[in-house]
Structure 1
Amino acid sequence: MRTWVCAGVVALVLTVFAVQLVTGPYETDGPVVLPVTYSHGLHAGDVPVLVGWVLAMVALVLLARRPAR
């Protein structure tokens, strides 16, 4: 149980950081690769953040599902 609570806390923190990185206004975001609305979209600079987030979430699930020793 404690493992899943810790994994949930880490997932929440990583998600908040990723959202802040993706939604923040930066000069070097790069071109829009996926428009969401007429004034917002997914920029090239957001892709590494999202890939890192997905990899971190997969790693958390794998660690949390590992049998106890």
Structure 2
Amino acid sequence: MLRWAGALLATAALSLFAVLLLTGQYLREGPVLVTLSAGHGIHRGDVGIVAIWLLGVIGVLTCALSGPRVGRDSAPTDGGRSGVDQPRTQR
């Protein structure tokens, strides 16, 4: 549960970062590629911002969706005989 909360928080922060960059005025935003309205559009510099945001989201989701880490300390102490894969003997 804590991993998902952290992943959601990081994704929200990355999303806010992207929104702030896309709506703000900054240097080297480049020419307008797609006009959205009279005063807004998608600039060449926006493509790089979205690409970096997408990489961040992919990294966060990879971390969140990966299984729990299994260390050598969590190995079965009975040589693996405690698992459910053991055949049952008939009596």
TM value normalised by structure 1? 0.90
- In structure 2, stretches of 5+ residues that fail to align are 70-91
Quote the sequence identity (%): 35
Once the two structures are TM-superposed, the CA of residue 27 in structure 1 deviates from its matched residue by: 4.1
SS in 1 for 2:64: helix
**Which residue does 1:34 correspond to in 2?**
34
Q: Which moves more between the two structures, 31-40 or 41-50? A: 31-40
The number of aligned residues is 69
**Which residue does 1:5 correspond to in 2?**
5
Once the two structures are TM-superposed, the CA of residue 38 in structure 1 deviates from its matched residue by: 2.5
**Which residue does 2:22 correspond to in 1?**
22
Larger Rg: 2
Once the two structures are TM-superposed, the CA of residue 36 in structure 1 deviates from its matched residue by: 1.0
Runs (4 or more) in structure 1 with deviation over 6 Å come to none
SS in 2 for 1:39: coil
Aligned mates of 1:62, 1:27 — CA distance in 2: 32
Once the two structures are TM-superposed, the CA of residue 39 in structure 1 deviates from its matched residue by: 2.0
Structure with bigger helix share is 1
**Which residue does 2:68 correspond to in 1?**
68
Q: Which has the higher contact order (CA 8 A, sep 6+)?
A: 1
SS in 2 for 1:34: strand
Residue type of the alignment partner of 2:45: G
